A and B are shown apart, each in its own frame.
Chain A
Amino acid sequence: MRAGVIVFPGSNCDRDLAVAFRQAGADVSMIWHKDVSLPDNLDVIGIPGGFSFGDYLRCGAIAARSPICSAVVEHAKRGGYVIGICNGFQVLCETGLLPGTLMRNSGIKFVCKTVGLRVQSTQGAFMQTYETGQEILMPVAHHDGNYTAEDDLISRLDGEGRVAFRYLKNPNGSADDIAGVLSANKRVLGLMPHPERAVDGAHGGTDGTAIFAGLASVLENA
């Protein structure tokens, strides 16, 4: 598995994400946001958490228009895998690769804690190792995780198996308790919780491992 992690000014989970990919057996390239092309033959691109461009204008808005993001969109349109975590999820929504957007948490406050999630979909490489309905733990750390989309879109996402995770107890007001969303082809995953912070016993849990391991097993058998 060849993975690339995009680094924006203000990214702060980029190295953790690289560690999670490497643990699943990936060769990892770190890619600077001003690059205009991706290394050859990347299987998956990770857009990490953080505060790209200081959250100026809107979270993820400036990052989504940076030179490398055009290449990320092309990669996804070719059927490549992309995972966006926290700020990375916000970036993916701003590029249009995922529907909806992330607004300020309904309680106004930054939320930083471990939350319970329910696995809603086991479709696609990222999700296949989980079981539908499985309850897992992952940390969240965000100010803008309040997922919002048009009402008809939310019910459609559920019907298409595109709601990846739901919060057991909603920490941010997100529509229908949605914590993570998949693209129509299930190869683009965006989520507010941090799976890369749950891949080692020392993290306090390893429920995030399945996302990276699931992808690795699909790519190795391809």
Chain B
Amino acid sequence: MTLPDLAGWGAWAAIAAMAIATYLCRISGVVLMGFIPLTPHVRRGLAALPGSIVVATVLPLVERLGLAAALALLAAVGSMVLRRSELLALVVGMAVVSLARAFGL
């Protein structure tokens, strides 16, 4: 089997490949869950999934991004506990990280 020559449109093929890979990621979780019966175990697993995604995304990022980021995220969570507003949490978090980085943390 020979693949067609890429001369001239390699970048477009690369963009198309990225688009296909990304779309498959977007739909495959929904498609797969359509085949998995919602047993009580699966239900509890799904219930734990959103919080697990959030924590699994954030903790290693904090570890990589450093102390200023950790302070900013803590401040944002604190702001959410007091006032349930994502906008306020974002403003508080960005303010804290800007200050912390300005002070060289």
Q: Do these two chains really belong together in a complex?
A: no
